[in-house]
A and B are shown apart, each in its own frame.
Chain A
């Protein structure tokens, strides 16, 4: 549920290092489970510069709306166009087709400030109790 190749924020986003200093960002299995059916995702335009832990969008389910926070600093180089018609991908494939944005990392060392899969799992278990 929490792939080891990802790093995690306490706000329940994941980030995964891709090739060429870029990273994909999405929300975790736990986050999508808490939200329930996602019906709308608001994402920033390509070119937006984000700071680590800055709000970059919103994810809306039938029940509620949550802010999205970027786990890393950098420039948005791609947004998942599929979100316009198929936001349910966030529920179905949170680490695959449900990715949200791709960021050109400003400082790869920021990843070290994030939680490992194991640490994040611990956080989720605490929250669930």
Chain B
């Protein structure tokens, strides 16, 4: 039985095409994946991201607990700030890539992938003992909306304190009123575009959703979310990273602060860093329209050098793109490879970093 978010009745009523994702029945698209992707690049799109896990951790030892669980230094994450980071297990594999929010002194939120929602909750409880922190799963009582695209600040400002909303810096968060609802607003997202993520009460979410649409946001589904995150070069847990992936091979080594003191996975990560990696995550810019899909082989001169983990068609580039792993010696920008697309070898170029960067905020 698939789980449903508080916005499910709204998606039904609006005629969204639904899909199963990580155990959730979510909108895949409303008017079409590519049209929704374009709307986010040029205006604003609205996504239901209530399926993500939201955990609150509080107590006197909340900070040391977060430092122990997360691979990044959490001390500099001031109140009102958020940070992208990882939970790794003792062997250095990635348990989840998450956002940590510092809401108040001794009070944090951890936002996990939908796929890892239960696992992360169990993981928090497993290690909490010595820290006697209070852990609450706030996901069921709340809903989360992502308002993404260059028009997002203008739209959201109309529903709350304009200067506070427009002045919110990237990766900053704020507890404020939005459209009459108490909300946690952060200037974060998963599209490579300016925008906000808004957590509010489950009961208030449908009203807020409608008000944002009335102000011009275009309803978007997970299909567009996947296109946009791939254009931005963001990994998706379950596709591009998992418990068998370490941060260094996934291009996420910059999140690991080995010198911050003891934390889960530190010894293993130190060893992996010294030993070097056996594969590296790269971007693939296809020379044709065929989509490289998860599991397809990447070849050089007929020899397999790696494998695709995600792929899509990029409306902004007009070509197909993908992410995958190749041997370290092939992982240089500009390397010409081929992808075996159902028996046909399609040329591609290895790209490092995002395929698309938004224009700087004005």
Residues of A that sit less than 8 Å from B by CB: 36-37, 39-40, 42, 58, 60, 62-63, 65, 87-88, 91
Nearest 10 pairs between A and B by C-beta? A39-B313, A40-B289, A37-B34, A62-B33, A40-B290, A37-B33, A37-B32, A62-B313, A39-B289, A62-B312
In the bound assembly, the distance between CA atoms of A40 and B344 in angstroms comes to: 14
Q: A36 and B29: CB pair below 8 A?
A: yes
Q: Of all chain B residues, which has the CB nearest A63?
A: B223
Q: B289 and A87: CB pair below 8 A?
A: yes
Chain B min CB distance to A106 (Å): 28
In the bound assembly, the distance between CA atoms of A128 and B33 in angstroms comes to: 21
User: Does residue B5 face the partner (Cβ distance < 8 Å to A)?
Assistant: no
In the bound assembly, the distance between CA atoms of A95 and B227 in angstroms comes to: 28
Beyond the given A36-B17, A42-B290, A63-B223, please list 16 additional residue pairs across the A-B interface where CB-CB is below 8 A. Answer: A36-B33, A37-B32, A37-B35, A37-B313, A39-B34, A39-B289, A39-B313, A39-B320, A40-B288, A60-B289, A60-B291, A62-B33, A62-B313, A65-B291, A65-B342, A91-B32
In the bound assembly, the distance between CA atoms of A88 and B34 in angstroms comes to: 10
Q: List 23 A-B contacts (CB under 8 A).
A: A36-B223, A37-B32, A37-B33, A37-B34, A39-B34, A39-B291, A39-B313, A39-B320, A40-B288, A40-B290, A40-B313, A42-B290, A58-B342, A60-B289, A60-B290, A62-B34, A62-B223, A62-B227, A62-B291, A62-B313, A63-B33, A65-B342, A88-B34
Mark contacts of B3-23 with chain A using CB atoms, 8 A cut-off: 1 yes-contact digit, 0 otherwise.
000000000000001000000
Could you say which of A40, A60, A62 has the most chain B C-beta atoms within 10 Å of its C-beta? A62
Chain A min CB distance to B196 (Å): 25
On chain A, the residues within 8 Å of B34 by CB distance are: 37, 39, 62, 88
**Interface residues in B, total, Cβ within 8 A:** 18
In the bound assembly, the distance between CA atoms of A37 and B33 in angstroms comes to: 7
On chain A, the residues within 8 Å of B320 by CB distance are: 39-40
Q: Of all chain A residues, which has the CB nearest B289?
A: A40
On chain B, the residues within 8 Å of A40 by CB distance are: 288-291, 313, 320
Q: Of all chain A residues, which has the CB nearest B227?
A: A62
Residues of B that sit less than 8 Å from A by CB: 17, 28-29, 32-35, 223, 227, 288-291, 293, 312-313, 320, 342
Chain A min CB distance to B15 (Å): 12
Chain B min CB distance to A34 (Å): 9
On chain B, the residues within 8 Å of A60 by CB distance are: 289-291
On chain A, the residues within 8 Å of B17 by CB distance are: 36
On chain A, the residues within 8 Å of B312 by CB distance are: 62
Q: Of all chain A residues, which has the CB nearest B36?
A: A37
In the bound assembly, the distance between CA atoms of A79 and B53 in angstroms comes to: 49
On chain A, the residues within 8 Å of B288 by CB distance are: 40
Q: Of all chain B residues, which has the CB nearest A37?
A: B34
In the bound assembly, the distance between CA atoms of A63 and B313 in angstroms comes to: 10
In the bound assembly, the distance between CA atoms of A58 and B223 in angstroms comes to: 21
On chain A, the residues within 8 Å of B313 by CB distance are: 37, 39-40, 62
In the bound assembly, the distance between CA atoms of A40 and B227 in angstroms comes to: 16
On chain B, the residues within 8 Å of A88 by CB distance are: 34
Q: Of all chain A residues, which has the CB nearest B224?
A: A62
Q: Of all chain B residues, which has the CB nearest A34?
A: B17
In the bound assembly, the distance between CA atoms of A87 and B33 in angstroms comes to: 15
On chain A, the residues within 8 Å of B29 by CB distance are: 36
Chain A min CB distance to B248 (Å): 31
Chain B min CB distance to A55 (Å): 12
In the bound assembly, the distance between CA atoms of A12 and B356 in angstroms comes to: 36
Chain A min CB distance to B185 (Å): 30
On chain A, the residues within 8 Å of B291 by CB distance are: 39-40, 60, 62, 65
In the bound assembly, the distance between CA atoms of A42 and B33 in angstroms comes to: 21
Q: Of all chain A residues, which has the CB nearest B293?
A: A65
Chain A min CB distance to B89 (Å): 32
On chain A, the residues within 8 Å of B289 by CB distance are: 39-40, 60, 87
On chain B, the residues within 8 Å of A63 by CB distance are: 28, 33, 223
Could you say which of B29, B223, B313 has the most chain A C-beta atoms within 10 Å of its C-beta? B313
Q: Of all chain A residues, which has the CB nearest B291?
A: A60
In the bound assembly, the distance between CA atoms of A60 and B342 in angstroms comes to: 12
In the bound assembly, the distance between CA atoms of A63 and B288 in angstroms comes to: 17
Q: B290 and A36: CB pair below 8 A?
A: no
On chain B, the residues within 8 Å of A39 by CB distance are: 34, 289, 291, 313, 320
Q: Of all chain B residues, which has the CB nearest A91?
A: B32
Could you say which of A39, A40, A91 has the most chain B C-beta atoms within 10 Å of its C-beta? A39
In the bound assembly, the distance between CA atoms of A5 and B270 in angstroms comes to: 69
